[in-house]
Amino acid sequence: MTVQIPQNVSQETLKRFILTLADDELVLGHRDSEWTGYGPILEEDIAFSNIAQDELGHSLVWFTLYHELGGDHPDSMGFAREWSDFTCCRFVAYPKGDFAYTVVRQFLFDVAEEERLKMLMDSAFPSVREIAEKLSREEAYHILHSQGLVERLGDATEESHQRMQQAVDAAFPQALGMFETIDGEKELVAARVFAGNDILKSEWLKRVIPVLEGATLKVPVRSANGSYVVTCAADEGGRKQNHTEHLRQLVADMQSVYRSIPGAKW
């Protein structure tokens, strides 16, 4: 299948961009799947298992486009690639932590994903536009779930508040790593494939800050002229493939079955 790609942007830049989207979903999906059998309540165990499958499904959609642009097959991208070649942000690779951390991370990720998909619905790249429309319907539901838990757990009990605050303290600087500039970003913006991570970050802040603060959680930002200024350093590096040890362990885990019998048919 040939994919119609927009003018003024190289295939390599497009592939790189698509890969960052696919890798984020794959790695977070794997982390979510780690709750299967361990959820704090049966219903949440099942909900997170479902979300894990949804995120893996999203990653497959992006990997398939990556493949159509001349990249490797989705299976080998997921299961036979070196961990140091992943392009996900560091944020998605951190261990699942307690349920509060998982909920906060999922909320911060879901809003970024939904805002990104909204932006991509106006992309000059038709394949990306179609995918964005398809995935955003499911994403709206993810936000209902994760935002609902943030709002309820933020001030439910002293312990839940304390755990949620610790989760925000840990996750917020990490989450900013989602907006690390990617290789070729100027080219993508100029070709109107993607409006860019700076715009995405400010849209994201406008949505997540009121929800977190409404849930009585403190966030390292201050308001200035109707927008938010972040007052902590972003945990970046993932887009440059400068990962933490956590990703190495996750990838080793995720690939162990596939690598045990190379080329096996299931």
Partner 1 sequence: MSDTQWETYEVFHQARRGDPHEHVGSVHAPDPEMALQLARDQFARRLKCVSIWVARSRDITMTDYQDESFFAQSTDKSYRDPKAFDAPAKTESE
Task: Give the residue among 177, 115, 104, 168 at the shortest CA–CA distance from 140.
Answer: 115
Residue 229 in the binding site for partner 1 (CB under 8 A): no
d(CA 205, CA 76) in angstroms, rounded, equals 35
The DSSP result for 12-29, as a single string, is HHHHHHHHHHHHHHHHHH
Record the tokens describing residue 234, joined without a space.
């972003």
CB of 50 to partner 1, least distance (A): 5
Q: Which is nearer to partner 1, 50 or 166 (CB)?
A: 50
CB of 156 to partner 1, least distance (A): 8
What are residue 229's phi and psi, to 5 degrees? -115, 125
Residue 215 in the binding site for partner 1 (CB under 8 A): no
CB–CB of 107/176 below 8 Å?
no
Query: How far does the chain reach from its first CA to its final CA, in angstroms?
Result: 26
**Among the residue ranges 5-13, 38-46, 119-127, 189-197, the one whose residues contact partner 1 (CB under 8 A):** 38-46
Sole binder of partner 1 in the list 42, 224, 233, 261 (CB under 8 A)? 42
Span 123-162, contacts to partner 1 by CB under 8 A: 141, 144-145, 148-149, 152
Q: Which amino acid is at 30?
A: H
Sole binder of partner 1 in the list 46, 140, 229, 232 (CB under 8 A)? 46
Q: Which positions touch partner 1 (CB under 8 A)?
A: 41-44, 46-47, 50, 141, 144-145, 148-149, 152
